[in-house]
A and B are shown apart, each in its own frame.
Chain A
Amino acid sequence: MAAAPPSDFNGGKVESSEAGSKWLDAHYDPLASIHTFSACLALADLHGDGEYKLVVGDLGPGGQQPRLKVLKGPRVLTESPLSELPAAAVTFLKDHHEPRTPALALASGPCVYVYKNLRPYFKFSLPPLPVNPLEEDLWDQAKEDRIDPLTLKEMLEGIREKAEVPLSVQSLRFLQLELSEMEAFVNQHKSKAIKRQTVITTMTTLKKNLADEDAVSCLVLGTENRELLVLDPEAFTTLATMKLPSVPAFLEVSGQFDVEFRLAAACRNGNVYILRRDSKCPKYCIELSAQPVGLVRVHKVLVVGSNQDSLHGFTHKGKRLWTVQMPAAILTMNLLEQHSRGLQAVMAGLANGEVRIYQDKTLLNVIRTPDAVTSLCFGRFGREDNTLIMTTRGGGLIIKILKRTAVFVEGGGELGPPPAQATKLSVPRKTRLYVDQTLREREAGTAMHRTFQTDLYLLRLRAARAYVQALESSLSPVSATAREPLKLHAVVQGLGPTFKLTLHLQNTSAARPLLGLLVCFLHNEALYALPRAFFKVPLLVPGLSYPLETFVESLSDKGISDVIKVLVLREGQSAPLLSAHINMPVSEGLAAA
């Protein structure tokens, strides 16, 4: 194939494992024990000394020991335990004071913890949600013992069925209780004011009024009760609240809060909602019909990764631009921004241990990693501008540096025919014998055909004869007569010398039960002994299978076996209705002795 060699060449360019790789391997520690998501990774010059540090909100192994880690180079600089799992970590400039060191915000549970110079500085808690006034009223009554627990339960259930505002945890818990526990529960909790609290699911930053790199930014929070909050960077008051139809999982913001901004929120119902500054509710909606696993904005294109292994590009108005299929499930996504060359691209960590870099739908680069990458982050780290930080499923940490000479070429990805086109077809080979037989058939085809036809007729004749004979002497295990439709099959169990013989007798007629049937065994009395060689069959109800058991004793010690014939007869008739031949197994019990 003329097309095959260039495709190989292209394939080679994309690979990072080869000598012509665009990346320098700076660090790889498979045992770094960092378990986190892309949202919990941030790079910032936290001390204002020009050394960029990596902030990791670490969930800990199995999500058990949440910690805040700060890494300088490959080394952990500080490590402090967290009370709850971190949902997101971002760094942002909160004021104009010099030196301009960024603050670190860590969202965890219902709170945002703000650190300055790596010291706890401020804690913001989400405002409690309004409680249902009816519910509140009920608990007030309970407090004054004006209502008995049963009525309380009924009333609360009524609220749950209809009300817009959901119940508090206290009421929900109460509704689950048994009658006996209610009294105690009410006494224990009645004095407490009911409250509803929500948690932060995602967080990002939004420039306040300037587009500069070092402009002051607001925090944007997504909450479990389907709201987006924009916080003032200095006073930590809520500047704006927006309502979403579902719980946001990923956020992507562009613009400035005071001027104009666009906010994209990928939600749990599989939709991406796009909001603008003046909109209190979503302006556009992208229905993915799959779950989004990542949301990245590249210039003006929103890139959404779906859990159906594909990347989609959308305009900021929600129009689909392109779709790219991935070879495996996407685990995480992030933005790659190379300031020196003005390049923006999407990185996607895949379940097959690849990190793919796409600019629009063209593949720029593939990095193979020893383990599946679960979080990604690109930017300035230490004193190096273009550093890629990856953490793996097993808790490993990989740091790679983009070579200064490296240029991502468009069209350097997969082009041309798929590689499978170059492989040869595996056509089954034919042997010499086959060819010889072919030649023989050509010479003597007619004779072969005739012989075959003659033999075929003979075979058919024999089969027909045997069949007729079987029918005539009722040798088949299925009764052919219309009056007694019966089916019989037999099972022999055991190793010997005693076997258990089970006959399954079934009446296959639609409605008529059968009565007055007999079973008779014919066997070689020198070889086998049966306790009853002849017995009556109970009434057979249509459809049911009746197991009739009997024991067979093997008498011979010579390791030989014989056939036992089973005949099913109608009372008063000598010709059997049906019969079965049971090939008895050799008695192993005696053979061993």
Chain B
Amino acid sequence: MAEERHPTRTQFPASAETQKPHLKKAPEFPILEKQNWLIHLHYIRKDYEACKAIIKQQLQETQGLCEYAIYVQALIFRLEGNIQESLELFQTCAVLSPQCADNLKQVARSLFLLGKHKAATEVYNEAAKLNQKDWEIYHNLGVCYIYLKQFNKAQDQLHHALQLNRHDLTYIMLGKIHLLVGDLDKAMEIYKKAVEFSPENTELLTTLGLLYLQVGIYQKAFEHLGNALTYDPINYKAILAAGSMMQTHGDFDVALTKYRVVASAVPESPPLWNNIGMCFFGKKKYVAAISCLKRANYLAPFDWKILYNLGLVHLTMQQYASAFHFLSAAINFQPKMGELYMLLAVALTNLEDTENAKRAYDKAVCLDKYNPLINLNYAVLLYNQGEKRDALTQYQEMEKKVNLLKDSSSLEYDSEMVEMAQKLGAALQVGEALVWTKSVKDPKSKQRTTSTSKASGFQQPLGSNQALGQAMSSAAAYSKLPSVGKERSQMKNLS
């Protein structure tokens, strides 16, 4: 093997050999894999132009036999979006070395990207026969089954992949399946395990945080979102979710500071501008709030939450005509929400269209089961119209809801709302004893909390029970019911 080195080595040592009795000298074949390492080095540093040049040269030299050159060419094609071409090249590779699972994997991957999930699963199964220890094959099989909507099979494959080797991606896919099926608890289980396995993965942390937020475990949610932000301070999903939680607690300034980071990273995010708008609303900077919300609305004209918030702010600004338009637009997109009709009714009342206001209240009452505010506002309107009997019915309805809520949860009521209810009760002169006992009890507990977080009477993140795909925007699209502003305006009428 070892030989003394000639000072200058000729390209083809064969030519120096002795004459053979053939007409023509047989040329030496170049080594097929001669420049594979160079192709690979250019490929991994994403220098695709140089890579393609070498591949071309290499393929010419070997007359298309260099498998690795074809392989990388196919990878580059795929990165450039020419999936069909890449598929054909990978198939060529699979012909050149049929025992190689990797080629089959890539064929399947290209099929998958072309949306031929069924065909991809077949090829993956073929590849799994050649290499039974590869988690990637099973993971991708699982993903294919997700797209084929065979969730049970997908779960099996993904669990198999996890047994072979644990990867964050597999956990994410498994979690996604549970979310698609709507099984929040199982999804959270999976994500908890995943976070345990890789505690620095911000995507996992954020998703788990958002899931906690959906279920209403705010402490844990905040913890995970905070962790995500320590590892990646510009993770905008986590910032939006954490910001919306801060808003819930009234920390508008802190939330705004956090949003600045998002604003530079994703300046065209509708939920971001919605949240910023509501921060300004919380700080009573109404003009800025309207500007931001209008930008959000411009970016996402079909998002009813933004329209809802716009309606709310305009009501506060006493721009009832504008509020009416935003609210009716919101109702067009989301016709199943009682609060929207209530706000619309308030706007209509102020526009002196009592007939339609009543109809809106009727609709709201009919859609909503838990919000006593709707009945109270309706009762006030009816009372002002002199329809004492109907007002009384609504008042009693409200009491029912309040009692129901008191039993089930420890929701706090806005002091203004309680005061209003007491006044109305007195004016109606019915069920006085009942009202008083209740209201005496209520304000005590209220005042303690309201002093810490101002006007936190009725705050709830909207749409928190939507699928995870929308979780970001729903956790972010935060809004506030207008308990304060609206009742104040009605109180004038009453007194």
Which residue numbers of A lie inside 8 Å of B, CB to CB? 1, 37, 59, 62-63, 83-85, 87, 109-110, 113-114, 120-127, 160-161, 166, 169-170, 172-173, 176, 187-189, 191-192, 197-202, 224, 236-237, 247, 249, 268-269, 287, 289, 291-293, 307, 320, 322-323, 325, 329-332, 351, 374, 393, 417-418, 420-430, 435, 438, 441-442, 445-446, 448-450, 452
Q: Which of A201, A420, A438 contacts B234 (CB 8 A)?
A: A420
Shortest C-beta distance, B131 to chain A (Å), equals 10
* Stretch binding the partner chain, chosen from B35-43, B302-310, B467-475: B35-43
**Which A residues are in CB contact (< 8 Å) with B388?**
none
Tell me if A176 and B45 are in contact (CB < 8 A). no
In the complex with contacts A445-B351, A452-B321, A122-B2 CB distance below 8 A: yes
Q: Which of B26, B256, B350, B352 contacts A189 (CB 8 A)?
A: B26
In the complex with contacts A62-B53, A427-B288, A123-B5 CB distance below 8 A: yes
Smallest Cβ-Cβ distance to A285: which chain B residue: B165
Interface of A is mostly: mixed
**Which B residues are in CB contact (< 8 Å) with A63?**
38, 50, 54
Tell me if A425 and B234 are in contact (CB < 8 A). no
- Assembly CA distance A109 to B11 (angstroms): 12
> Can you list 14 pairs linking A and B with CB atoms under 8 Å apart?
A161-B98, A198-B33, A199-B36, A224-B37, A291-B43, A291-B44, A293-B45, A374-B45, A421-B260, A426-B263, A427-B276, A428-B294, A438-B317, A449-B320
In the complex with contacts A199-B33, A224-B36, A425-B276, A332-B45 CB distance below 8 A: yes
Top 7 nearest A-B pairs (CB, nearest first) are: A123-B5, A420-B264, A201-B37, A169-B29, A224-B33, A428-B291, A449-B321
Q: Which of B29, B64, B260, B287 contacts A425 (CB 8 A)?
A: B260
**Which B residues are in CB contact (< 8 Å) with A197?**
31
**Which B residues are in CB contact (< 8 Å) with A268?**
40
Residue B332 at the chain A interface, CB threshold 8 Å: no
Tell me if B257 and A191 are in contact (CB < 8 A). no
Tell me if A188 and B24 are in contact (CB < 8 A). yes
Tell me if A438 and B263 are in contact (CB < 8 A). no
Tell me if B11 and A83 are in contact (CB < 8 A). yes
In the complex with contacts A176-B65, A293-B44, A307-B46, A1-B257 CB distance below 8 A: yes
**Which B residues are in CB contact (< 8 Å) with A426?**
263
Shortest C-beta distance, B311 to chain A (Å), equals 14
Tell me if B1 and A124 are in contact (CB < 8 A). yes
Tell me if B44 and A122 are in contact (CB < 8 A). no
Smallest Cβ-Cβ distance to B57: which chain A residue: A63
Tell me if B20 and A191 are in contact (CB < 8 A). yes
- Assembly CA distance A426 to B267 (angstroms): 10
**Which B residues are in CB contact (< 8 Å) with A441?**
319-322
**Which B residues are in CB contact (< 8 Å) with A448?**
321
Tell me if A445 and B263 are in contact (CB < 8 A). no
Q: Which of A173, A189, A237 contacts B63 (CB 8 A)?
A: A173
Shortest C-beta distance, A519 to chain B (Å), equals 41
- Assembly CA distance A318 to B2 (angstroms): 37
Tell me if B295 and A428 are in contact (CB < 8 A). yes
Tell me if A85 and B65 are in contact (CB < 8 A). no
Tell me if B37 and A249 are in contact (CB < 8 A). yes
- Assembly CA distance A251 to B348 (angstroms): 76
**Which B residues are in CB contact (< 8 Å) with A323?**
200
Tell me if B320 and A420 are in contact (CB < 8 A). no
Residue B369 at the chain A interface, CB threshold 8 Å: no
Residue B324 at the chain A interface, CB threshold 8 Å: yes
Tell me if A438 and B319 are in contact (CB < 8 A). yes
Residue B32 at the chain A interface, CB threshold 8 Å: yes
In the complex with contacts A169-B32, A188-B22, A425-B263, A176-B37 CB distance below 8 A: no
